[in-house]
Amino acid sequence: MELTWTFTPKVVQQNKTAILEEQEAYLANLESISEQYLAEVETYKNYSAAEKLIAGKPIKPKLPEMIYERLILDEQVIANEHIKIDGFNKKSDNADFTAEIVLSGFEIETKFEKNKDNAAFFYDVMYKCPVSVSIYDKEGKMYLDEVVENTTLHKTTPKRDSSDELKKYWIDNELAFTQELEKTSYNSALSKGANFINDALGYREKSESIKINTAKGKKITYPELDRAIEIVQRALISFGDGTDQDSMDKLKEVTQIWENELLEKNVKDKKARINKKVATGIHWNCVLIYSILNDFEKAKNHLNELKLIGRGPSGTSAEKFMKNFKARKR
């Protein structure tokens, strides 16, 4: 199907405001400490010699240090760098869709000291960098809203010969280790989010094969299912951009054939004409073709039937196909 859809890439760093507020609070604290010290110095200058002797000279305070300065991302730049959708044109405004990646923020949860055979000591650092994605049109209608990553991840430090050497390594390298891990975590989160969006919405300008099931048995024939395959093949050859009415009518005819066959479904009897295996294939077919017809209510009904039958892989693949077409539907 030839599409000329456009999209605007967008990245949101949710913790950006918190980071800026943290930095402002830190700078305000430094300023307050400095002002207090200068005031004490000024007061000391006005003391008499006896008062100076009693009070003592003001001690210059040791200013607090931030553990590290957390990254603030240039959201517009990284959105343009990372988010690409095969077959879609990028547009800065008034696009058909907005493809958005939301980064909740990087956080180290904890670390545990581990060792291998009491000879190689290292820290297992546990951290999170959650990422979610959404796709919505210019009217704000949501087509995709998914959490891509929200699990605890692990990163190990270089190994050292003893626990004491490991502790010294961490004291000397905590800042550099944390900054590098934060940078790579954001890059990984952005890649995961961008790939998820492209898998959901993107398409390449080439033919894409889809699996349509029929059935066969030693003593049972399925002439209507075989006929349905032939009709689908003819319909999809001339389907084009989905506006060919004859193709649409053929696909609707096919779904009626499958619906009629499912009336004989008996998933508890392996010898039944439309047993569990055959029913799974027909429900799969219905999810695909109803999705292509943009009848997502019926597609979802058959998806639910797949899940009830207990065909996990088939249900997952069919659901992904349905979501892809739903995201493309304007």
Residue type, 221: T
**Segments in the chain forming alpha helices (H):** 16-45, 49-55, 75-82, 163-201, 223-237, 245-262, 276-292, 296-309, 312-328
Enumerate residues 6+ apart whose C-beta is below 8 A from 292.
Answer: 239, 242, 251, 325
Model's pTM, two decimal places?
0.56
First to last CA, the chain: 14
**Where are the domains positioned within the chain?**
6-18+69-201, 223-328
Q: How far is CA 117 from the centre of its chain?
A: 38
Ranges assigned E (strand) in 70-190 = 89-90, 97-103, 107-116, 120-128, 131-137, 142-149, 153-156
What's the longest Cα–Cα distance across the chain? 116
Placement of tokens 């993107």 in the chain: 202
CA quadruple 276, 280, 282, 286: dihedral sign? positive
The pair of three-digit structure tokens given for residue 171, joined into one six-digit string: 């004291």
pLDDT of amino acid 3: 37
Contact 127, 139 (CB under 8 A): no
The pair of three-digit structure tokens given for residue 91, joined into one six-digit string: 């547009």
**Quick one: which of 117, 187, 188, 127 has its CA closest to 157?**
127
One digit per residue, the tens of pLDDT, for the chain of length 330 reads 333 578 999 999 999 988 888 888 888 998 999 999 999 999 999 999 888 889 899 999 988 876 667 899 999 999 999 999 887 889 988 888 999 999 999 999 999 999 877 789 999 999 999 999 999 988 888 988 999 989 999 999 999 999 999 999 999 999 999 999 999 999 999 999 999 998 887 754 444 457 788 888 778 889 999 999 889 888 877 676 667 788 899 999 999 999 999 999 999 998 899 999 999 999 999 999 999 898 999 999 999 998 888 755 555 677 877 877 776 654
CATH class of this structure's domain 6-18+69-201: alpha beta
pLDDT of amino acid 1: 33
Residue type, 182: E
Kind of pairing, strands 97-103 and 6-13?
Answer: parallel
Placement of tokens 């249900």 in the chain: 315
What's the Cα-to-Cα distance from 239 to each of 103, 258, 262, rounded to whole Å? 39, 20, 26
